[in-house]
Amino acid sequence: MLPVRLLLLLAVFSSVRTTILENVDKADLEAVRIRLMEEKAKRLLLQNDVDVLMLKFEELKRKCDQRDEHVFDGNVTLVTHSIAFTATLSADMLFPSGTILTFDHVRVNEDNCYNSSTGKFRASFRGLYSFSVTVLPVLSSHPVGCFIMKDNDEIGRVYTGDTGIATGSVTVVTMMDKGQEVYLKGRHNHQEYVQGAHWSTFTGLLLYRYN
Ligand SMILES: *[C@@H]1O[C@H](CO)[C@@H](O)[C@H](O)[C@H]1NC(C)=O
Ligand SMILES: *[C@@H]1O[C@H](CO)[C@@H](O)[C@H](O)[C@H]1NC(C)=O
């Protein structure tokens, strides 16, 4: 048996200790509680930011999906690369039968796609291209006719001059593989006497690039 004095002492000591501990714990708990509330508030704000971002993301995704569905089939990309040329004929030219009509005066030649000495446009991307030609004869007795050629295939033709001197024009669109060439070729059995002074023009450009 412990002496009564010692028991009393122990009891007092333990009660003091409990009180101290309680006080310390309460202060700590309060601090932790405040801290938790702060964290919870921050988390709510962050969640709100995330919700806003998710909405924006969904909207962007929807717009992209729509674009893919309606305009692009997934193999087509927007043309970000400028491919375009316009060349005109500066002086009247008598082109021998079946030769390439070279238009010498280059007004636009993005990416150097047109070679004025060969008269050829070369595709630097697979894609859909547009070409336009306008020719004006020099003499009314001398109609002008020519073909738009893609490598060895005819993809367009124009003829004018039977009923006086008037311009003739044609526009075509065509799919091209990288490296294919488009140019103008005169008729096999006629010399083409084409008027210069920039009346006659040859234009081409990339519309859509295919992957
Ligand atoms: C897109 O490309 C794939 C793979 O080359 C091909 O199978 C598909 O037919 C193409 N789609 C169109 C519309 O050209
Ligand atoms: C145009 O073609 C000619 C003949 O093939 C070539 O010698 C010349 O370098 C080309 N010019 C350009 C700018 O590519």
Amino acid type, 47:
Q
| Residues 179-202 pLDDT 10s | 999 999 999 999 999 999 999 999
**Nearest ligand to the CA atom of 111:** 2
Q: Is residue 115 in contact with ligand 2, taking CB distance under 6 Å?
A: yes
Q: Decide: 187 and 98 in contact? Cβ < 8 Å.
A: yes
Sign of CA dihedral 180, 183, 186, 191: negative
Q: At 39, which helix (H) or strand (E)?
A: helix 4-70
Q: What is the mean pLDDT of residues 94-106?
A: 97
Structure tokens at 202: 């040859």
Q: Looking at the predicted structure, is the pLDDT value of residue 112 above 50?
A: yes
Amino acid type, 84:
A
Sign of CA dihedral 107, 110, 114, 117: positive
Structure tokens at 48: 């709100």
Which residue of 85, 117, 124 sits with most ligand 2 atoms within 8 Å of its CB, as the best mutation to test the pocket? 117
**Nearest ligand to the CA atom of 74:** 1
Q: Is residue 47 in contact with ligand 1, taking CB distance under 6 Å?
A: no
Name 155's Cβ contacts closer than 8 Å, sequence gap at least 6.
131, 148, 149, 172, 174, 182
Report the candidate in 150, 137, 116, 123 with the shortest Cα–Cα distance to residue 190. Answer: 137
**Ligand 1, atom 4, residue with closest C-alpha:** 75
**Nearest ligand to the CA atom of 76:** 1
| Residues 29-83 pLDDT 10s | 999 999 999 999 999 999 999 999 999 999 888 777 655 444 455 677 766 678 9
Q: Is residue 90 in contact with ligand 1, taking CB distance under 6 Å?
A: no
In terms of Cβ atoms closer than 10 Å to its own Cβ (0-12, 13-18, 19+), residue 135 is buried
The verdict on pTM exceeding 0.75 is no
Rounded distance between C-alpha atoms, residue 183 and residue 177, angstroms: 15
Ligand 1 centroid, distance to 77 Cα (angstroms): 13
| Residues 119-151 pLDDT 10s | 999 999 999 999 999 999 999 989 999 999 999
Rounded to whole angstroms, the maximal C-alpha distance in the chain is: 143
The whole-number pLDDT of residue 44 equals 95
**Closest ligand 2 atom to the C-alpha of 115?**
1
